[in-house]
């Protein structure tokens, strides 16, 4: 057996052993008996969110390879003194092949349409994977990453950082405690989009010399480059590349209600939108998810609002105005029998009980996190068995739920869409075959995991 295979097996075995072995001992990776004992990271996407993800990797281990389709961003990152003179690549498929045996983990910080292929390709090689939110571009991809992570038994984590905040975990524990009585409904809202969407496709322009446009497109259908419209930021507003306001922010704002209420596998989803051309997402949408009862709560309706849509002020139970920052509010209202939990902002860590002054928060039990990326790193070294937002049990199901909203948004191209009936076991919209391509998309020739 090659030395690198033995080391990879060691990493996987350490993960399986879990936190119990290491809870009272200094983990092997921090003892640094030799340089080879440090976790070796490769980072796919090094600009935007990729800057902080690769920076987190460098704080915890050694960044030995980096990949980006924009050569100017790639070369700038290569000079980062935090990194260990990394090898550079434009195509993550080439990087994963040439670095086989030389890396232990990857970070994926690309546009949404690359998430699945990059993450799946890495995990199938036995590599740990940290992937930005939303975990995938489609519902089928989210389910498939759960299956691959489970089959390969590799450490995983999604970049929804609020999962590790004490305030979010405390809010979830409060809602699960029964202190507020029966959960009745949830309303979740965002100030996104902060990019243009609901628009016609722009005129093409010349591709900059530093950008490999074909690699940027990757598995998506071919289309001409348009200066500043897709790369580097506004791709979120286009069906071929992003997942709209819902996909961009719900992994954050939906996160606390998901943790608290187990919001998996809605039975129906329906949307009302400002209308869209099935190329660019609508300027605004409102989505209703109907979740069946489970062992811990009754059936519940969950509402999503974006593009300036908001829940009624009556739901704020006397609070004069939203606690907010920026252009418009984001947050969540969890309506309960004995009051309402109101969380403002994107990450679920700030909240209060309504009506004000009528509820005291009891003592609550919940696990504190050492930090979001730290959880991922510790799941590689064996200091803990799984990061909270792992693909199999948390990030994958959360992403599935969120992206189901886009089935309803597609069906609401003219304003009000049909109620989509969802069979979670079969991954099938039983009454809406016209949205099946949103559940599972086709990839351009040459792209597969």
Is pLDDT of 10 > 50?
Answer: no
* pLDDT for position 357: 79
Distance CA 409, CA 272 (A): 7
Give the closest residue to 58 by CA, choosing from 86, 32, 34.
86
pLDDT tens track for 375-392: 999 999 999 999 999 999
Distance of CA 4 to the CA centre of its chain: 30
Q: What is the mean pLDDT of residues 162-179?
A: 97
Give the closest residue to 399 by CA, choosing from 247, 290, 269, 191.
247
Q: Which residue has the higher pLDDT, 349 or 27?
A: 349
Distance CA 306, CA 347 (A): 16
Instruction: Please give the backbone phi and psi of residue 393, each rounded to the nearest 5 degrees, phi first.
Output: -110, -15
Whether the model pTM is above 0.75: yes
H/E stretch holding 87: strand 87-89
Residue in this structure with the two tokens 């030799």, named with its chain if needed: 34
**In contact, 218 and 444? CB cutoff 8 Å:** yes
CB atoms within 10 A of CB 58: 18
Band (pLDDT 50/70/90 cuts) for residue 147 is: very high
Is pLDDT of 20 > 50?
Answer: no
Distance CA 191, CA 202 (A): 25
Is pLDDT of 324 > 90?
Answer: no
Band (pLDDT 50/70/90 cuts) for residue 7 is: very low
Share of the chain above pLDDT 90, in %: 86
Q: What is the mean pLDDT of residues 34-45?
A: 83
CB atoms within 10 A of CB 76: 14
pLDDT tens track for 65-90: 999 999 999 999 999 999 989 999 99
**Of 130-134, 215-219, 293-297, 310-314, which gets the smallest average pLDDT?**
310-314
Q: What is the mean pLDDT of residues 341-356?
A: 92
DSSP state of 86: -
Q: What is the mean pLDDT of residues 36-50?
A: 93
Q: Which residue has the higher pLDDT, 360 or 252?
A: 252
Q: Which residue has the higher pLDDT, 206 or 24?
A: 206
Q: How far is CA 122 from CA 65, 127, 266, 296, 382, in A?
A: 13, 5, 30, 36, 19
3-state SS, 5-34, equals HHHHHHHHHHHHHCHHHHCCCCCHHHHCCC
* pLDDT for position 19: 34
Distance CA 74, CA 56 (A): 17
* pLDDT for position 313: 85
Beta strand ranges found along 164-278 (DSSP E):
183-189, 268-273
In sign, the C-alpha dihedral spanning 213, 219, 220, 222 is positive
Q: What is the mean pLDDT of residues 144-172?
A: 98
Mean pLDDT for all residues in the chain = 91
Band (pLDDT 50/70/90 cuts) for residue 36 is: low
Is pLDDT of 21 > 50?
Answer: no
Is pLDDT of 153 > 80?
Answer: yes
pLDDT tens track for 395-412: 999 999 999 999 999 999
């Amino acid at each position: 057996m090659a030395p690198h295979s033995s080391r990879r097996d060691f990493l996987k075995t350490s993960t399986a052993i879990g936190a119990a072995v290491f809870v009272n001992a200094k983990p092997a990776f921090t003892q640094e008996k030799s340089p080879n004992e440090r976790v070796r990271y490769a980072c796919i996407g090094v600009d935007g969110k990729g800057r902080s993800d690769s920076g987190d990797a460098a704080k915890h281990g050694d960044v030995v390879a980096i990949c980006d389709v924009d050569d100017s961003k790639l070369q700038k990152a290569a000079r980062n003194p935090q990194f260990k003179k990394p090898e550079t690549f434009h195509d993550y498929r080439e990087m994963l092949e040439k670095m086989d045996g030389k890396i232990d983990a990857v970070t994926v910080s690309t546009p949404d349409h690359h998430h699945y292929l990059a993450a799946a390709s890495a995990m199938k090689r036995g590599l740990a994977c940290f992937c930005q939110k939303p975990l995938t571009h489609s519902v089928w991809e989210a389910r498939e990453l759960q299956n691959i992570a489970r089959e390969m038994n590799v450490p995983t984590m999604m970049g929804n950082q609020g999962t590790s905040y004490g305030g979010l975990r405390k809010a979830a524990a409060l809602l699960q405690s029964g202190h507020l009585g029966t959960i009745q409904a949830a309303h979740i809202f965002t100030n996104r989009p902060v990019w243009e969407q609901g628009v016609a496709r722009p005129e093409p322009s010349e591709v900059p010399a530093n950008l490999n446009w074909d690699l940027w497109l990757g598995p998506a259908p071919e289309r001409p480059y348009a200066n500043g419209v897709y790369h580097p930021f506004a791709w979120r507003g286009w069906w071929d590349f992003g997942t709209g306001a819902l996909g961009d922010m719900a992994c954050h704002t939906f996160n606390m209600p998901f943790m608290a209420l187990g919001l998996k596998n809605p039975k129906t989803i329906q949307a009302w939108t400002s209308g869209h051309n099935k190329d660019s997402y609508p300027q605004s949408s409102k989505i209703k998810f109907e979740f069946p009862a489970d062992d811990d709560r009754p059936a519940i309706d969950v509402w999503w609002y974006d593009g300036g849509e908001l829940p009624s002020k009556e739901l704020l139970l006397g609070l004069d105005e939203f606690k907010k920052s920026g252009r418009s509010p984001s947050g969540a209202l969890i309506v309960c029998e004995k009051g309402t939990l109101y969380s403002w902002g994107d990450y679920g860590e700030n909240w209060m009980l309504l009506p004000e002054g009528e509820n005291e928060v009891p003592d609550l039990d919940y696990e504190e996190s050492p930090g979001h990326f730290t959880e991922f790193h510790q799941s590689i070294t064996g200091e803990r068995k799984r990061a909270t937002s792992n693909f199999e049990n948390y990030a994958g199901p959360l992403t599935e739920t969120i992206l189901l909203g886009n089935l309803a948004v597609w069906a609401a191209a003219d304003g009000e869409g049909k109620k989509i009936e969802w069979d979670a076991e079969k991954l099938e919209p039983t009454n809406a075959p016209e949205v099946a391509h949103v559940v599972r998309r086709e990839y351009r020739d040459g792209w597969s995991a």
